[in-house]
Amino acid sequence: MPNGLFLSIEGIDGSGKSTQLDLLTARLEAAGIPFLINREPGGSTVGRQIREILLNPENPVSPVAELLLYFANRAQNVDEQIRPALAAGTLVISDRYTDSTLAYQGAARGLGQALVRNLHEIACRGTEPALTVYLRVSPAVSAERLSAQKKDRLEAEGPGFHARVYEAYEALAAAYPTRMVAIDGDREASLIAGDIWRIVNERWSARD
């Protein structure tokens, strides 16, 4: 049986990840490619309960508790969903993974990259995406897109917070140019979707 493939998709809030995942899902179904979408926070039954805690604006979650909850969710998803799907030869696409934690909690919350990476080793145990699609949009574009919608607890953070998240993503993209493919997210959705499909299809076809 051919190996599965683990990809992630990243970007600041308002980058268009949800739209692009919907478009990608339709193309994967049409192509007959077996896939699993892992959403963070969320995914598993346990993860969905953690998601409600993390994103509810009424919950005063401390930064350290926030960090640990994200990794609790991730550890559960790795064991329950991601590893079994990869072993079965499935394409796994994670809507956020540890890059998000490095950007949001490590950088924007000021908890530090070293702490996030140490927890990643504990929770993920070597389960790493082979490719990360980074949807690049500026904080200004993000703010404009989010202005007309109801915001979750993280989306409701101030502009300084989201600027730090953006800067952290840019640093990650510069540090890992082979794994992280930056795509201009400030374009028509169909153009972005075409780029993502080309990249994903090429990687899936070339997997070991």
Going from N- to C-terminal start, the domains of the chain cover: 5-205
Averaged pLDDT for residues 102-112:
98
183 bridge partner residues: 135
Residue 163 has pLDDT above 90, yes or no: yes
Please, how many CA atoms are within 13 Å of residue 8, restricted to the half-sphere of its CB?
Answer: 20
Long-range Cβ contact pairs of 24-33 (< 8 A, separation 24 or more): 24/93, 24/193, 24/196, 24/197, 24/200, 27/193, 27/197, 28/91, 31/201, 33/91, 33/204
Signed CA dihedral, 124, 50, 18, 106: sign only: negative
pLDDT at position 148, please? 77
Longest dimension (CA), the chain: 48
Tokens of 81: 């969903």
Per-residue confidence band for 76, with pLDDT thresholds at 50, 70 and 90: very high
Tokens of 172: 């990650």
Q: How far apart are CA 182 and CA 173, in angstroms?
A: 7
pTM, 2 dp: 0.94
Who wins on pLDDT, 152 or 105?
A: 105
Q: What is the CATH number of domain 5-205?
A: 3.40.50.300
Task: With beta carbons less than 8 A apart as the criterion, state whether 103 and 94 touch.
Answer: no
Residue 129 has pLDDT above 80, yes or no: yes
Q: How far apart are CA 84 and CA 77, in angstroms?
A: 10
Per-residue confidence band for 2, with pLDDT thresholds at 50, 70 and 90: low
